[in-house]
Chains A and B, each alone.
Chain A
Amino acid sequence: MAKHTPLHAVHVAAGARIVDFAGWDMPVNYGSQIEEHHAVRRDAGMFDVSHMLGLDLGGPDATTWLRGLLANDVAKLHEPGKALYSCMLNPDGGVIDDLIVYYFSPTSYRIVVNAGTADKDVAWMRQRIAATGANVTLESRRDLAMIAVQGPNARDKTWAALPDTRAASESLKPFSAAAVGDLLIARTGYTGEDGFEITLPATRAEAVWNALVAAGVTPCGLGARDTLRLEAGMNLYGQDMDETVSPLDAGLAWTVDLKDESRDFVGRAALVANPARRKVLGLILEDKGVLRAHMTVFTAAGEGETTSGTFSPSLEKSIAFARLPFGVEPGEAVEVDIRGRRLKARTVKLPFVRNGKTLV
């Protein structure tokens, strides 16, 4: 039996095409995925991301325990509401999941994890609590819904739909959140555009979604979410990294914090013992066709492989992420094997697009 978010009936009523995503019935588009993509780049679109799981972490040992759990260091969080992106690693340095942790106080955090990994994440966290004997509590919040409102006009349209949230969220810096009544408004996202991710009680999800529609926010499916995150250079768990891949080989070295040598987080020893072997660059296909995952890339420095690929609606060309030998630099001509033919592509620094502007 597929799982449904609190907004499932709204999606069906809106004519969404529903697909299975990690056991959840989710909207892939409401018509044209490309139009939804452009709505986010040019105006405002929204995504139901209630399939992701929020977890409340509390207790006197919360900070110490998180510093041992995550590859990034929550000790750098001081402002209440500040968010941090991090990988959670296994002892071999492979990525169990990538997540966002919000700091409220040294004894109170909210963690948001991927839908497809949620059960395994919670099991791992509980195992770590038992193993460390830490005095913490961990609570799954399936009573919550999450709506991501993204695009250059996303904040204005959110305030039009939810006027009460304006005072608290207007001054929010990127990657920060504020509580407004029973809503948590975070200036975060997965599209490369400005906007909010709103966490709210599931019982209010439908009313808030409809208010956002009335304010002119375009409902967008997971299809557009994927092309937007690819253009924005953001990894997708299970596609660009997994338990067999080190964050150092997945373009995520910037999220691994080794500064405090006394901080012995899970996977640290493995990362130190196994430096990066690959670099991640973007590819733009010069020939006609569409890049997909797991295509072989031929470079002057050896072979590599694509991890994600799609047609970019903003560039009107195909783009991909590729794990490549260290000798390859941005701006090089490479070839990609597409169904037995070698097509021309060039390497670029990620991201491809940020805040509506093409960077490549």
Chain B
Amino acid sequence: MTTRLAGVFEEGTAPPLTSPSIAMPAMDFVVQWNRCGITADYLADYLAYAFERRDVARSVITTAANELLENAAKFSSDKNAPVRIAARVRGDFLELEVENVTDGDHVDTLTTVLDALSRGEAPTLFASRIESTERGGLGLIILVRDYAARLGARIVSANGGSLDQTFTVTVRASIAADELEQR
């Protein structure tokens, strides 16, 4: 089992004030795609109490959570494996994490996008995605461009060396409280 990181995957030092998490099979999202939005809305409603400008924070959290969930559901290679979303409120910023099982092709694409975003290339990536028919990662790029989210991933290979290698990927978005409240 090997672990590597992509983008900005840094651990917060302050203990979380609250850290809810939910897990459900990826197939549940495939069967009713609106469940991505429902889950994101639930989490946003739950977390918004931690912020002064609740309506604004709720809107940003639901956008970010929905984006991470849709990506995880869409690119889960084993649709019966769970997608887990977790949040940690650390006072001055929020961490949203989504974990799923995926394949090597998606890991390569995700790593390329996250590394480019960590180099400050969000505007360039956004322009190129808009002009091309390829839309992969557009939602993640928007999270960085519009909310200054710091995005990273922890990638753990589950069965190294085999042809059908799968990876457990945890994508994390860290968003400052000031960005969540649009101050």
A and B: bona fide binding partners = no
- Chain A positions within 8 Å of B, measured between CB atoms, are none
Q: Which residues of B contact A (CB under 8 A)?
A: none
